[in-house]
Structure formats: C-alpha cells, structure tokens
Amino acid sequence: MLASHTIARFARKFPRQLVRDLVTFSRKSPAERALILRRYLGSWDWRIPHLGNDRTAYVIGLFGSGRRYVTTLMLKNLGRRAKYVREMIRLHPGPTSMIYTGHATIKYVCREQHFPEITSGIFKAVRSGHADLIFINRHPLDSLLTNWVFWRTYIRENFLIQGISQIYENTDELCADLEHNFSEFMAFAEGDPDFFAALPPGPRFLSFSEFVEEAELYIPSATLTLRMEDFTIDPFKEFCKITKVMAVDLDLSRLRIVPPNAQAYRYLAVKKKVPRFRDFINGLNDETRRRIEKIGYKVVD
C-alpha cells in the first residue's frame, strides 16, 4: 500500500481525483490491481497467443450482474491462462487463448456497454467454433437496485462503486434512501434520459424492461450461463463449470473459490419495507414477467 507521505506528495502535485484513484487502487487486492492494469494496457498487445486447442473466451454480463466477481475468480484461479484475461472485447478471425470480459448488449444501444455490433461478432465466433460465450446472469430486480445505486453515486459524487454494500451498511439504509428518492428510482427504471443529464452526452441506460429483454436474448446463444445466486450456494461447483467449458487443466484441490459479497435476492427484503417498490413489482407487465421466468427466475409479488 502506498505510504501516507507518498500520497501527500501526490496531493500537492496532482488533481484530487487522481489522488483518490491512486488511493483506491492501492487498497485493492493484487488480482484486482492486475485486472485494472490489463483494462488500460491490454490494448497494447501486439501478439495474440493461441496455445493448444484453446478457444477465445468471452465473459459477458449486463451491468450489475456480478461479472467482475467472476473475472476476479478467474484471475486468481485459472493458473497460466489467467495472464490472458483482459477487461475489454476484441474480435478475432480464429481461436485464441485470450479471455475477454465486459458488458455488451444485443438489441439496444446503452451507456457504458459495448454496442450490439460487437456482440453480433461474438455470436458469430461462437457459432464458428472459435470462441465460447460465458454469460453471467442475476435476478434482474437485484441488478436494477444495484444499477440505480451505482449510477446515482457516480453522477452525484463521481465515484465508481463495486456494490451496494459500499454505500449502505444494511438493507434498512438502502430502503430508506429508496423511499425518499423513489421518483428518481422510477426515472432510472423507465430509462429516462434526463436521469443522465449531468453526464457528458451519450446513450441512456436500459430501462428495466429492456434490461430483462437483453438477458433473455443472451440465453440461447451462450455456451454457458451462470447465475450469481448459484455462486452464493456453491461457488466451487459453479467455477468448475467455467474450467470445463474452457478446457483448463487445473489442480482443483488448490482452488480458492470464495462466494460473492453481493446479497442474493435482496429485492425481496426491499419490497417488504418499501411499499412503492412492491407496487412497482406488482405492476410489471406480463411480457416482462414471462421473460424473467424464461431466464430462470421468478417474480415474487
């Protein structure tokens, strides 16, 4: 970790945001720091490796799905193959040993997610047998709450969070904030562009119904679909599904697979405490409910 006097010296010479970023970076685990560095340095690669029978792997999730958790597990446990993990997406004409991870949409253009044209290229590579697509899924109502907290925090404080627990100590605090700012929440859930008015020009984020539709569209094309909730039950079993798809030969006895910090099905506790959120769930249209069930979840009114 950076020493306090070093941080102070940076503070006198550089903008406050840069110092804040450096402090945040220094507090992350080695695997998380490696992922951040690869996010920015990955595009400098000049030689794309292809070892043995490896296929390019794409680890994709919609925003708030838990993709970063799965990516961190791979960095810590995939052995030599982990050095090819990049938080970016590239398309190749043939198989490689690369592992690309990111957010991407299939139908709708969305802020901070790769465009549908990129996703179409991934699907083409999967159909050709050159690549595998690992789709990370999560209950859409949990993702909705996480995404609302993420974006409102970023817009108000210019601060990127990894999960709700960074902002709220418990669900009661989240519920109180949701109740107090419910009209703002609804604007976000409906995909209102004005929600992002304070940010530089760009696409809006997905509405809740569009988010669910995007998740449904992924399922038929994914080589493997993983649910974050299943990682909370048996993370070792779920991670082994990844190693099987990628044909990575590992000593399974040496794996250290920790469950995610994210609370599974938090939306159930929130709906009990926030009547208007319960009304929002009750008011979901039949098509959205059908899609949620099709991707493996239920809507509990």
Each residue's pLDDT tens digit, 147-192: 999 999 999 998 888 889 899 999 999 999 999 999 999 999 999 9
Query: Does a structural domain hold residue 168?
Result: yes
Boundaries of domain holding 226: 30-139+208-254
Query: Does a structural domain hold residue 156?
Result: yes
| Same structural domain, 109 and 166 | no
What residue type is 35 in one-letter code? L
Token pair, residue 166, equals 């960074």
Specify which residues 171 forms β-bridges with: none
| Same structural domain, 278 and 129 | no
Query: Does a structural domain hold residue 229?
Result: yes
Give the helix ranges, DSSP H, for the chain.
4-13, 16-26, 30-41, 67-77, 116-128, 140-157, 171-180, 182-189, 208-218, 228-233, 235-246, 266-273, 275-282, 286-294
Q: What is the pLDDT of residue 35?
A: 58
Separation CA 149–CA 181 (nearest Å): 11
Specify which residues 85 forms β-bridges with: 99
Query: Does a structural domain hold residue 1?
Result: no
| Same structural domain, 49 and 173 | no
Among the listed residues 160, 155, 153, 191, the one whose alpha carbon sits nearest the alpha carbon of residue 174:
153
| Same structural domain, 54 and 94 | yes
| Same structural domain, 67 and 189 | no
| Same structural domain, 163 and 196 | yes
Instruction: Convert the pLDDT of each residue in 200-218 to its tens digit.
Output: 999 999 999 999 999 999 9
Residue 159's SS3 state is coil
> Percent of the chain scored above 90 by pLDDT?
78
Query: Does a structural domain hold residue 69?
Result: yes
Average pLDDT over the chain, rounded to an integer: 89
| Same structural domain, 50 and 190 | no
| Same structural domain, 152 and 196 | yes
Number of domains comprising the chain = 2
Strands 56-61 and 99-102: parallel
| Same structural domain, 129 and 184 | no
Asked if the model's pLDDT at residue 242 lies above 50, the reply is yes
Q: What are phi and psi of 262, to 5 degrees?
A: -65, 140
> Percent of the chain scored above 70 by pLDDT?
84
Residue 97 in contact with residue 57, Cβ under 8 Å? Answer: no
| Same structural domain, 39 and 94 | yes
| Same structural domain, 196 and 212 | no
DSSP state of 201: S
Q: How confident is the model at residue 254 (pLDDT cuts 50, 70, 90)?
A: confident
pTM of the model: 0.84
Query: Does a structural domain hold residue 101?
Result: yes
Q: Is the dihedral of CA 240, 163, 143, 265 positive or negative?
A: positive
* Higher pLDDT, residue 1 or 89: 89
Token pair, residue 178, equals 């949701």
Query: Does a structural domain hold residue 14?
Result: no
Q: What is the pLDDT of residue 10?
A: 42
| Same structural domain, 241 and 280 | no
Listing DSSP states for 103-114 in one string gives -B-SSS--TTSB
Q: Which stretch of DSSP H or E encloses residue 85?
A: strand 85-86
Give the CATH number, domain containing residue 60: 3.40.50
Token pair, residue 240, equals 């082994």
